[in-house]
Homo-oligomer: A and B are copies of this chain.
Amino acid sequence: MTSGTFNSISTTVIRVAAAQVNTTVGDIDGNSQLIEKWIKLAQLQQAELIAFPELTITGYPPEDLVLYDNFIEANKTALRHIATKVKDIVAVVGFVDSEDGKLFNSAAVLHQGKIVTTYRKIHLPNYGVFDERRYFTPGDECPVISIRGIKIGINICEDIWEPIGPSEVQRKAGAQIIINLNSSPYQLGKHRHREEIVSDLSRRNNIYTLYTNQIGGQDELVFDGGSMLFDPDGKLLGNSPRFEESLLVADIKAKLTEIPVPFRQNYTNFHEKLSQVGKSSTIEIPIIKPQKKLSNLPELSISHLGRLESVYHALIIGTRDYLKKTGFKKVIIAVSGGIDSALVTTIATDAIGAENVIGVALPSRYSSEGSITDARELCSRLNVELWTIPIEPGHVAFEGMLSDTFKGTEPGLSEENTQSRIRGNLMMSIANKFNWLVLSTGNKSEMATGYATLYGDMAGAYAVIKDVPKTLVYELSEHRNARGSGCPIPQEIIDKPPSAELRPDQLDEDSLPPYDQLDRIIHMYIEERLSPDLIIQKERKVRSDDNVETVVRRIVQLIDKNEYKRRQAPPGVKITGLAFGRDRRLPIASVWEH
């Protein structure tokens, strides 16, 4: 098929929309309603095409739900139903297609009540948090749709991260616009990288690219949106705000010409490699009813979020959506007077409102007066209700119950952990009683080194800052204080040296190196996957004391041997390049010692 009869260059405008929505995994009915609602919104703005994020109908990532036949059937039924509602607009919707027992991560093109064509994702990510090869078979076709002579290639997420993929094939088949559907999770610095990828894709293919992404939290992932449109020179024309639902509507001036616009590709054997990606065909979309004069659109805007603001947003959305999507309204947080619980309480308040947050102070015989005052001051500034339950009666009872068993032993880690678990039990008892959730407050530096008590301070439904290193906890606290709308975190909390207060005069730095050093080592070992030898080399350039080797080896060993604790930790928002959880899969029983 060829698409048009244009012999010389003319231009025509198509109004397209990227729907940056917040779907919920498994909520096929709810997601369908969301799709229908946003189609109407796009039509109000006279869009001729609306594109949704990857796997819109099932939510992303649906994980093993897709292995249930009835789930796949329900998602296909929903797609057919949505199609019947689509008139006078082309809707591109993500769903799971199936054929001969195989599943495909797909995008359907819906128009005038029908499924016009379907694209099946070719490049399936199977690293980091992604398990797509577990479920999906790669597609092998690169269809192009043609609307009034404007040719559009549709593909999905990872497809544009490979140097030669379906975009190139579609471009060769005449596409002037690429629509790329994403469910791309947030991590620090990733959006800048996405912009580079999409810019380069647009420039080297001399093509427009409309990039859609979802927003919202899903277990450990937060999707940050940032849908965007690039022109054929690789220039960003406009983007959607991050972390909120939004419709990006834009007019694209497409050139209609039979004379191919040149590629700006530089690969050897480019055309030969193209043929290995998949074959292409063009599907004509019958011309939509004669266009009325298009209304004026507000000018496209471009916004960028700073580093700390983006992390803070991710933590808010992750927490808010975990609660919403699991059906809980209220949370309780053990407020110790320390910086971690102060930040988590502030995030929770920003996420779901002070009226849905209860702080619980659980002072022990080792709690300093300052801790209690600081906890009180924090909650008062945030307008969060604070309950106080001294743990002394439990502490005494456990000492009594264990006195025979522990006779003749020195008090140590066991006695410290017992206190933390008394607190964990109190928090869980309250949560169970009132059907609330416990938010736990451990940070990444603690999760890494195991400086936390399993079933104690680790107890909870959601570990908000489990992927936030301690140094970033401080930065975020100061950022939040400087951000306007009050200065919720008392300076005393930021200034005092961190302590678990499980024995007299305990300080974190008795057990751990200074947090700036610790976080550097953790970053190099976890995110950069460097060997201890290399870390020592690099660390020696920063600190010249004799201790470096000992410290690095000790930290790496702590990280390795605490895998068992992390395996039983609650989920929390991934914000770094490599989070604990699905992102990092290590054996517990392992004797690898580098």
Contact = CB atoms under 8 A, between A and B. Distances in A.
A585 B28 CA distance: 19
Contacts of A401: 389-391, 393-394, 426
Given A455-B455, A564-B461, A589-B218, A413 B425 contact: no
Interface in A368-391: 387, 389-391
Contacts of A394: 394, 397-398, 401
Interface size class of A (residues with CB under 8 A): 35 or more
Contact of A590 (B325, B418, B531): B325
A425 B418 CA distance: 6
B424 A455 contact: yes
A26 B590 contact: yes
A7 interface: no
Given A402-B389, A564-B461, A414 B429 contact: yes
Given A325-B590, A326-B589, A417-B429, A70 B531 contact: yes
A483 interface: no
A56 to B, nearest CB: 15
A27 B414 contact: no
A127 interface: yes
A498 interface: no
Nearest to A402: B429
A363 to B, nearest CB: 12
A68 B532 CA distance: 11
A301 interface: no
Given A429-B418, A432-B417, A589 B64 contact: no
A50 interface: no
A538 to B, nearest CB: 14
Interface in A62-112: 62-65, 67-71
A345 interface: no
A393 B418 CA distance: 15
A61 interface: yes
Interface string A133-145: 1100000000000
Nearest to A565: B461
Given A133-B133, A218-B587, A218-B589, 15 more contacts: A26-B593, A30-B591, A62-B587, A68-B529, A70-B531, A131-B134, A217-B589, A326-B564, A327-B591, A393-B397, A414-B429, A414-B432, A425-B425, A571-B588, A582-B585
